[in-house]
């Protein structure tokens, strides 16, 4: 142990001299993960650091990601980062310069605007491509940190943890990435999946927050790498950055001290450590308990059975409602609790007025019971709407989903009153609709088998022959009139290089309607900003809800950008018949 202490002190002196001088000057958190190696590797690192002390001009290390050709600078200066992203620009007809010529003020304006909207699936897909394509970071009127924060926040809001993991792995040296890494680790820890939280540290080159440093140390202990964990604690103690609560848990886990009954719910890591170091752990959640603790309690089987809840205790019922909203309890458990309430016949008959005189949770129980007692379709849908509204007004909008869908599916659509038709249509299906198959109609250009080209099932030479053959037949049909959808399709084929014979030019009239502003942006290579503008145009609307003129406008832009995959998705959504 004495030798280990001496080794630690020697290592610390060298580490301070060669690596942490910059961190001390800039008040940045200390990164300690480059020393996560076995003892023999640590000794090699000591020699390397000793050599670097004698070199006055320490060179920055550039790391090449061979899979995506991403050059990431390992300097502590954020402005030295060259590229950041996930997708290959060529996959969508883009380039690594897609942001280089754009004004940062415009980028921030549209990103702020889009972040305040509930975007449709297609708008999100556009943002996926715009923000996650591997590209140079913009530098005009926007800092690297600002732009990267938009990327991080977008990933966090999206809650696609597979996507987040891939982004972290592909960009292991990004500075100020602790926000997204913490979101990832906390999510899996709150779901009692410590292994998934810990594995992400294997892909990170630098950790810049004390919280993640502590998390990493705990992961080392959990993996039975206690010597490495001890060395890191010794390093942290030299810099005075130790958290008393974490140090106490560390000593217990290392076997230096006995258990401690103190519980901290300040963050999910402290809460988990409180649980792991106390065999008699007991925690009573309250109405103010944050959602990540509800998830942890549920995943760790630490919640009270809903059957034991006293319905006379309003706080307990409200706690169950909140916990259900956070996914800690199943919907049906809450509705079974609602069935236990006792109401008289007058309250059930006059439910529309009676529920308003009760506390909100009792009012919901009354509406639900009356809902179960009726077979009248009009009353069913009306009560369902009332109950759904009550949940929304109490910020419990995640509860009434599956049960609502079951109720609405028992009602014939013809019996729905006109003022509740939209409510019925929006809530009848809780699961994703099955993808519809395309039905070809070779008498109509935009519904013909030419669509196979946009499904990547037909080669360009083949579709060229098929298109000209079909146009030959259409030209003979004097009654056929080219529609806007036909024009969209043929112009998209031309954009991809399909040669349409000149004798068919007079079948339709087409004038490109791209605004001068958009056209100049495309010429200037500001494709990232153009994508943001398209996402803003689409906004909350799904593709099938957008008017044909706007669809044609967007398709025209994507043809100019050569963003084929996005364009194909639009065409396959709006052109063919579906069965």
Q: Encode pLDDT of 258-285 as tens digits.
A: 877 889 999 999 999 999 999 889 888 8
d(CA 162, CA 194): 16
181, 212 contact by CB (below 8 A) = yes
Write out 341-380 in H/E/C secondary structure: CCCCHHHHHCHHHHHHHCCHHHHHHHHHHHHHHCCCHHHH
Give the rounded distance of the alpha carbon of 529 from its chain centre.
21
Mean pLDDT for each consecutive 10-residue tract of the chain (579 residues)?
Answer: 42 40 38 37 37 33 30 39 82 89 94 90 91 91 92 92 92 85 95 94 85 94 94 85 89 88 92 92 86 87 73 82 83 88 92 92 92 88 90 88 83 82 75 57 91 88 93 90 92 93 89 84 91 91 84 90 88 79
Query: What is the reported pLDDT for 578?
Result: 58
Q: According to the model, what pLDDT value does residue 80 have?
A: 52
Beta-carbon neighbour count of residue 282 at 10 Å?
Answer: 9
For residue 505, with 0-12 CB atoms within 10 Å meaning exposed, 13-18 middle and 19 or more buried, which class applies?
Answer: exposed
Nearest to 530 by CA among 76, 60, 73, 99: 99
Q: In the structure encoding, which two tokens stand for residue 163, read together?
A: 């996507």
Hey, where are the domains in the chain? 327-427, 438-578
pLDDT for residue 253 = 93
Find out whether 536 and 124 touch, Cβ atoms under 8 Å: no
CA dist 446 and 429 (Å) reads 30
Only one residue has tokens 């200066």, namely 77
Check: CB of residue 562 under 8 Å from CB of residue 93: yes
Question: CB of 171 within 8 A of CB of 71?
Answer: no
Name all contacts of 194-199 with Cβ < 8 Å and 24+ positions apart: 194/219, 194/222, 194/272, 198/222, 198/223
How many CB atoms lie under 10 A from the CB of residue 138?
Answer: 24
Q: What is the pLDDT of residue 19?
A: 38
Rounded Cα–Cα distance for residues 540 and 550 (Å): 14
311-337 pLDDT tens trace = 777 888 888 888 888 877 888 888 888
Tokens at residue 115, please?
């972040």
pLDDT tens, residue by residue, 489-540: 999 999 999 999 999 988 888 887 788 888 888 889 899 999 999 999 888 8
DSSP-derived letter for residue 89 is G
Identify the pLDDT of residue 21. Answer: 35
């Amino acid at each position: 142990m004495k030798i280990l202490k001496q080794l630690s002190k020697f290592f610390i002196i060298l580490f301070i001299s060669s690596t942490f001088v910059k961190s001390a000057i800039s008040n940045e958190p200390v990164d300690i993960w480059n020393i996560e190696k076995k003892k023999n590797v640590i000794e090699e690192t000591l020699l390397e650091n000793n050599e670097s002390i004698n070199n006055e001009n320490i060179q920055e290390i550039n790391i090449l990601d061979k899979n995506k050709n991403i050059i990431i600078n390992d300097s502590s200066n954020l402005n030295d980062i060259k590229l950041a992203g996930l997708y290959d620009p060529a996959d969508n007809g883009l380039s690594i310069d897609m942001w280089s010529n754009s004004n940062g003020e415009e980028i921030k304006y549209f990103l702020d605007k889009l972040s305040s909207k509930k975007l449709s699936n297609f708008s999100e897909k556009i943002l996926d491509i715009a923000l996650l394509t591997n590209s140079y970071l913009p530098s005009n009127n926007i800092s690297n940190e600002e732009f990267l924060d938009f990327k991080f926040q977008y990933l966090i809001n999206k809650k696609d943890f597979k996507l987040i993991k891939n982004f972290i792995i592909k960009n292991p040296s990004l500075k100020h990435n602790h926000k997204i890494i913490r979101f990832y680790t906390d999510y899996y820890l709150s779901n009692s999946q410590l292994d998934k939280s810990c594995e992400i540290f294997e892909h990170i080159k630098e950790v810049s927050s004390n919280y993640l440093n502590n998390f990493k140390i705990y992961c080392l202990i959990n993996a039975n790498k206690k010597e490495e964990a001890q060395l890191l604690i010794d390093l942290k103690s030299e810099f005075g950055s130790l958290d008393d609560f974490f140090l106490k848990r560390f000593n217990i886990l290392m076997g230096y001290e006995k258990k401690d009954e103190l519980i901290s719910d300040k963050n999910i890591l402290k809460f988990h450590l409180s649980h792991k170091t106390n065999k008699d752990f007991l925690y009573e959640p309250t109405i103010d308990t944050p959602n990540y603790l509800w998830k942890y309690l549920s995943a760790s089987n630490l919640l009270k059975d809903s059957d034991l809840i006293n319905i006379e205790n309003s706080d307990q019922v409200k706690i169950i409602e909140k916990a259900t909203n956070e996914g800690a309890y199943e919907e049906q458990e809450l509705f079974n609790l609602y069935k236990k309430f006792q109401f008289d016949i007058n309250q059930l008959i006059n439910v529309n007025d009676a529920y308003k005189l009760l506390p909100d949770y009792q009012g919901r129980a009354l509406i639900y019971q009356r809902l179960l007692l009726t077979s009248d379709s009009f009353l069913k849908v009306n009560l369902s709407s009332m109950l759904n509204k009550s949940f929304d007004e109490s910020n419990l909008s995640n509860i009434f989903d599956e049960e609502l869908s079951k109720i609405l599916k028992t009602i014939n659509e013809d019996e729905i009153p006109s003022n509740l038709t939209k409510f019925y249509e929006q809530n009848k299906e809780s699961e994703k609709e099955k993808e519809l198959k395309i039905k070809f109609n070779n008498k109509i250009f935009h519904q013909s088998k030419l669509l196979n080209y946009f499904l990547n099932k037909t080669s360009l030479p083949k579709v060229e022959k098929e298109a000209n053959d079909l146009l030959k037949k259409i030209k003979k049909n004097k009654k056929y009139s080219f529609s806007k959808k036909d024009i969209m399709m043929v112009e998209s084929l031309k954009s991809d290089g399909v040669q349409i014979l000149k004798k068919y030019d007079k079948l339709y009239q087409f004038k490109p309607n791209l605004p001068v502003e958009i056209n100049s942006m495309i010429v200037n290579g500001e494709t990232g900003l153009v994508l943001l503008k398209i996402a803003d145009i689409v906004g909350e609307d799904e593709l099938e809800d957008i008017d044909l003129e706007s669809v044609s406008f967007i398709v025209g832009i994507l043809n100019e950008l050569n963003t084929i995959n996005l364009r194909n998705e639009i065409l396959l959504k709006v052109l063919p018949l579906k069965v």
